[in-house]
Amino acid sequence: MTALCDRYADRVGEGLIFELDFSRNDSITTSDLLITDWSGIAPEFCFSTGRPALFINTKIKCLNPNWENLGLTPVEISLRNEIGVSLNPDELDRVRDTVAELIENTPTYRERIDARFATLIYNHGHAGEAGARYILSSLMKKREKKA
């Protein structure tokens, strides 16, 4: 990180910020896009701002090397090309054009991000009400069985 900060120190203030103090989150609400590897911040950023992410496909941090045996693709993997664009390390020469494309097409990505959010997050904005209905329904069913 120090090498990265040193390399681009002359560009800080030209729309580039190195946020090394995570006690504030101003950059989340003001950034046009997120550039990340496999960080869990990507869905949070995209779903909360409606803006896309550029993913760099570094080596996956994996605690279960047998995950593929389940026949399921983890949402962290499937989301990558739905809420942004993924590039392999040998494609880094495409970063500039990809960033420009993501920013130019943010409205299209916002639609895709919102649609994906709707399939993953249930009862958004009224989860308490939905949870209470479920609990009451379950209690009523148990009560009917006893009667």
Which pLDDT tens digit goes with each residue over 88-129? 999 999 999 999 999 999 999 999 999 999 888 888 788 889
Least confident of 56-60, 74-78, 90-94: 74-78
pLDDT at 115: 93
How much is the pTM?
0.74
In angstroms and rounded to an integer, the radius of gyration of the C-alpha atoms of the chain is 20
CA atoms within 13 A on the CB side of 127: 4
- 48 Cβ contact list (under 8 Å, min separation 6): 28
pLDDT over 90 at 12, yes or no: no
pLDDT over 80 at 24, yes or no: no
Q: What is the pLDDT of residues 29-52, one digit of tens each?
A: 888 999 999 988 899 999 999 999
Specify the CATH architecture of the domain 2-146.
3-Layer(aba) Sandwich (3.40)
DSSP code string of 108-138:
HHHHHHHHHHHHHSTTTT-HHHHHHHHHHHH
pLDDT at 56: 95
Q: Higher pLDDT residue, 19 or 6?
A: 6
Q: Which residues pair with 102 in a beta bridge?
A: none
d(CA 65, CA 15): 39
d(CA 46, CA 112): 10
Return the closest-CA partner of residue 29 out of 41, 45, 43, 13. Answer: 45
Q: What is the pLDDT of residues 81-90, one digit of tens each?
A: 999 999 999 9
